A and B are shown apart, each in its own frame.
Chain A
Amino acid sequence: MSEPSATRVTRRDALGAGLFAGAAALAAAAAPALIGARGAFAQSEDTSGTDSELLIGLIGFEQTAVLAYATAANAGLGAASKLATLLGRQEQEHADALIAALKEIGGTAPSPPRVEDVPGLTEVGSAEDFLSFALDLENQQLAAYLEANKQLGSAELLTTSSQIAANEGQHLVIVRQALGVDPIPAPPPSGSGNV
């Protein structure tokens, strides 16, 4: 006897979630921990569709990253500031692409955050502080992209989101190595922990 359709849907939706150690299990509620009340998925002023809402959330993450890296780049942290310049440039490219995508579907990009909008950013005082902050930031970004890819409807946006997620993974490797920790701690990446 076949399983009821509702049960089958639930089981199918769970595919992958528990198969790998640390597999993607992001709750959108993770976003506010870093970027405050703005930018979390479903907290959007633009209700024109799921893709718009998701893009607004992702743009919020990227804008936060751009700000954080710019702050660190100008903070005189030596090699960490140089690293922040590199990573910040790529986060800006991500933001620009996503903002362009949002405009194409009639959405409006959120305003960039201010330093005081980003929890913990004003407390970053040393290279190690920044690297730890960056580790958390990149993990949350990756988790957001993995979550978004469950819901994005546009094939092109899914592709772009995947390409960006892969880049955030590369950022994680670099930041972990700068911190002197294991650069690839667990397969596959989920953004679920501050490791």
Chain B
Amino acid sequence: MNLQSHLAAPLDRRRFVQGLGLTMLAGPPALLAACGSDDTSASDTIDEASDARYANAARTLELAMVAGYTRVVALLDPAAAASGDRILTHEQQHAAGLAAVVSDLGGTPVAAKSAAAYEQILGLAALKSQSDALRFAGDLEQMAIYSYIAAVPRLTIGELRSTFTSIATAEAEHTSVLRGIEFPGDPAKQSPVAFVTGTKSALKLQ
């Protein structure tokens, strides 16, 4: 599969609404586009293999987030660590749930990398303080939100689109919790914009 040609393929199986003035993705998803066929998103045809690849890419992301949050929690003060630990549990459950989806679609769930591998990929050694940890966790969540939302139109199974949207929402909720720790008593910081897009990341998790 040529990745560049795949990413350039239009998401136009169904009618594509133009000129809505809505928030648009800046480009193809950093992680969750690295799979799937050209016939993706809003498709009338179920493509289990393609959806399984997206689910596995999402699991790859979640496994990295588990590794990241394991370090994050260790750097948070006790009050914040309780929230961090809850978020870590969520990411673990996302990863496990996505493994089940991949298996059900006939795929093989991707395995977690070694701790040393995540240490290097995520740059965990650079995290020294709660401030570092919160910023890092926020960046991870923004990357996840971007990736999940970008993948939604490319999935062919409606229920899976809903699940991906739900996980993206969970990651957005996590950002609100994290910002609440950093900016207590300031709800505007927890919900700064009406359309949550996430942020494309240059991280290479595969």
Contacts and interface: CB of A to CB of B under 8 A. Distances in A.
Contact of B188 (A13, A86, A105): A86
Interface string B14-51: 11111111111100000000000000011000101000
Contact of A161 (B165, B190, B194): B165
B22 A97 contact: yes
A101 B17 contact: yes
B101 interface: yes
Interface residues of A, number: 65
Interface string A139-154: 0001001110111111
A180 interface: no
A13 B22 CA distance: 29
Contacts of B177: 173, 183-184
Interface of A: 9, 11-17, 19-21, 23-24, 51, 83, 86-87, 89-91, 93-94, 97, 100-101, 104-105, 142, 145-147, 149-174, 177-178, 183-184, 187-190
A174 B24 contact: no
Most chain-A Cβ atoms within 10 A of its Cβ — which of B12, B24, B153?
B153
Contacts of B105: 12, 15
Q: Which 10 A-B pairs have the closest CB atoms?
A: A16-B163, A150-B158, A166-B196, A166-B172, A155-B153, A169-B169, A93-B194, A153-B14, A90-B194, A187-B90
Given A154-B16, A184-B177, A169 B153 contact: no
Contacts of B18: 104, 156
B81 interface: no
A145 B149 CA distance: 13
B93 interface: yes
Interface in B35-92: 41-42, 46, 48, 83, 86-87, 89-90
Most chain-A Cβ atoms within 10 A of its Cβ — which of B105, B168, B195?
B195
A9 B159 CA distance: 11
A19 B194 contact: no
Nearest to A158: B153
A97 B161 contact: no
Contact of B42 (A154, A162, A188): A154
B11 A9 contact: no
Nearest to A91: B194
B17 A157 contact: yes
B41 A188 contact: no
Interface in B149-174: 149-150, 152-153, 157-174
Contact of B173 (A24, A89, A90, A183): A183
Given A152-B42, A187-B170, A162 B17 contact: no
Contact of A184 (B100, B167, B173, B193): B173
11 contacts: A51-B17, A91-B194, A101-B22, A146-B162, A160-B20, A161-B165, A165-B168, A170-B172, A172-B173, A184-B174, A188-B167
Most chain-B Cβ atoms within 10 A of its Cβ — which of A151, A155, A167, A178?
A155
B199 to A, nearest CB: 13
A144 to B, nearest CB: 11
A90 B191 contact: yes
B42 A15 contact: no
B123 to A, nearest CB: 26
